[in-house]
Amino acid sequence: MKYKNKNIEYRISNTESNIQDSVSSPIQHSTFNIQYSPRTRGISLLELLLYIAILSGLMVIVSDAFISLSKGRGQAEARSEINSAIRFAAERIKQDVKNASAISAPVLGTPANTLSMTVSGVPVVYDMLGGALRRTENSVVATTTGSFVSVDTPTFTRLENYNSVLGATTTAIQTVMTFRYNSSSTDWIYADTLRTTATLR
């Protein structure tokens, strides 16, 4: 009986000591160290202004490049159109003058704005109306320039050269006129002058 009581007392005392140890033991707290990376901080006002300045400079460079490209393309197309009109008009006038049997206007010593001749027995007249170079053959009017090209007032001059050896006079027609590209944009402005001389056979 005494042995049982001692055993019970030992268990009780052992249990109390475990409880006291658990109560008296300090509680360990976990701590978290939060480190802030420099990449997570915001953008300063100075950096923002710097970025805006760089983007503005790039936009100006790109826009200037597009403007230059557009202007170059416009000039190239206008030049091509004008050169084509000049070649066509020059060849047409030369062909008619060479095949003409007589030229009534202009007269020698007096330049004129109209070229009148007879080709294969048919009257042919060159003149300008409303910025278009016209060719009238037997009362049938046809323009030698397109809608994108306008012509300033042409000047036709009669030239004659007497050959004393052959006893013959050579007649030629000098033609001068300026062709302009029709456009309201300054990027497409282009003009060139036709200067040609055709000899009557």
Segments making up each domain of the chain, as ranges: 59-199
Specify the 3-state DSSP secondary structure of 97: helix
Average pLDDT over residues 7-18: 50
Pick the more confident residue, 185 or 153. Answer: 153
The confidence score (pLDDT) of residue 168 equals: 85
- Hey, what amino acid is at 19? I
The confidence score (pLDDT) of residue 119 equals: 95
Radius of gyration of the chain (CA): 50
Distance CA 93, CA 35 (A): 89
Pick the more confident residue, 76 or 123. Answer: 123
Taking the CA of residue 201 as centre, how many other CA atoms within 13 Å lie in the half-sphere pointing to its CB?
11
- Judge contact between 167 and 154, C-beta under 8 A: no
The confidence score (pLDDT) of residue 75 equals: 82
Around Cβ 82, how many Cβ atoms within 10 Å?
A: 22
Average pLDDT over residues 58-75: 76
Q: What is the mean pLDDT of the chain?
A: 81
pTM across the whole model: 0.65
Taking the CA of residue 198 as centre, how many other CA atoms within 13 Å lie in the half-sphere pointing to its CB?
21
Residue linked to tokens 């003409």: 100
Average pLDDT over residues 17-35: 49
- pLDDT tens readout for residues 95-121: 999 999 999 999 999 999 999 999 999
Pick the more confident residue, 147 or 25. Answer: 147
Average pLDDT over residues 171-176: 96
Residue 3 has pLDDT above 60, yes or no: no
Average pLDDT over residues 173-196: 91
The confidence score (pLDDT) of residue 198 equals: 95
